Structures are given as C-alpha cells and as structure tokens.
Amino acid sequence: NVIGVVPTCENMPSGRATRPGDIVKSMSGQTIEVLNTDAEGRLILCDALTYVERFKPNVVIDVATLTGACIIALGHVHSGLFSDDEVLVKALSKAGHQSLDTVWRLPLDAAYHEQLKSNFADLANIGGRPAGSVTAACFLSRFTEKFRWAHLDIAGTAWKSGAAKGATGRPVPLLLNFLLDQ
C-alpha cells in the first residue's frame, strides 16, 4: 500500500502572522523557534512526518521544493537525497539511475544538527546561511525517529524555466521505479 500525505496551509501576511522569534509547538510536541518566516514549508512538513506515524509505515519518503540552497548545490541535474538509511539510499539511487531521474546524496552529519540549536526552543527552523539544504533536511530528520526515512529536495528539478518552462514531473519516475523494486 502507498499512502500520500499532502500538508497544505495558507501563507498570507496579516496582523496575526508568524514573526521572527516566535516559538511554535509542532504536532510532535517539540518546540521550534522561527528564525526565518520564509522557511515555512519545513514547519508543515514536520507535522506531516509526525502525522504519518499513525500508519506505521515501513518507509517514508518526503518530497519538497524545500530550499533554494539545493539549487545552488546541485543545479537542475540531480534532486537532493538525504537519509541515514544506507539501504534506502542505495535503493533510491538505483531507481534514479534506472529512470534517468537522478539523485545526489548530501550529508546529515551531527555537525549540521548543531546549527539548529535554539536558546529558547527545542530547535530553530533554520541553521543559518551555510549548508541550507543540509540543515533543512536535518530539521526534518528530527521528526522521523519512528520509521525509515528519506528526503528528496526537488527545488532544482521540479520545473524548467525559459522557453521550455513548466513542470518536469520529477521525481515521479524515480518513485515509481523505487516502488516497483520493492
């Protein structure tokens, strides 16, 4: 069985909007210091990762156009792949090569997690300018302890601009090949 969860919300300015310095409580109970209100996607994605626990999944693969930093790191060739699960990384990489929808693994080392420390909450929603795609994935990993997990940052591969502008359909071929191999 495949279950899809699509976290959505309205992101509109108002007098009640989230401000830098606000502390929010995630569905998991962890508190998050909002240092950058433009890093809002990870706030709803972390709740989606907590929500899927109820399904007791074997594997969770989240997909998001999460960071412009991933475009800086990988351009428009590979999607960013983040996971500490070596078997899952190998399977997703193989599926990417088979489908010509390639991924490039980026680290989730403890040193990057350090950048998410907050003096006021369990963690901050950003880790600063260096390694932005990595710290975003590290943030998400804090909500994945109960299942095998991978994050695909498709910011650079989801669409094309210019004369050929439009959606690419990525990472559908990769995910389809991954599922067919299971």
Please report, for the domain that includes residue 87, its CATH number: 3.40.630.10
| pLDDT of residue 66 exceeding 90 | yes
Domain that holds residue 33: 23-158+168-180
Residue 13 lies in a domain: no
Residue 144 lies in a domain: yes
What is the total count of domains within the chain?
Answer: 1
pLDDT band at 128 (very low <50, low <70, confident <90, very high): confident
Q: What pLDDT digit, counting tens, does each position of 22-47 carry?
A: 999 999 999 999 999 999 999 999 99
Residue 53 lies in a domain: yes
Please list, in sequence order, all residues whose beta carbon lies within 8 angstroms of the beta carbon of residue 89, skipping any fewer than 6 positions away. Answer: 81, 83, 105, 150
Residue 163 lies in a domain: no
Residue 135 lies in a domain: yes
Q: What pLDDT digit, counting tens, does each position of 3-14 carry?
A: 999 999 988 888
pTM of the model: 0.95
Residue 126 lies in a domain: yes
Residue 91 lies in a domain: yes
pLDDT at 12: 83
Residue 37 lies in a domain: yes
* Average pLDDT, rounded, for the chain: 96
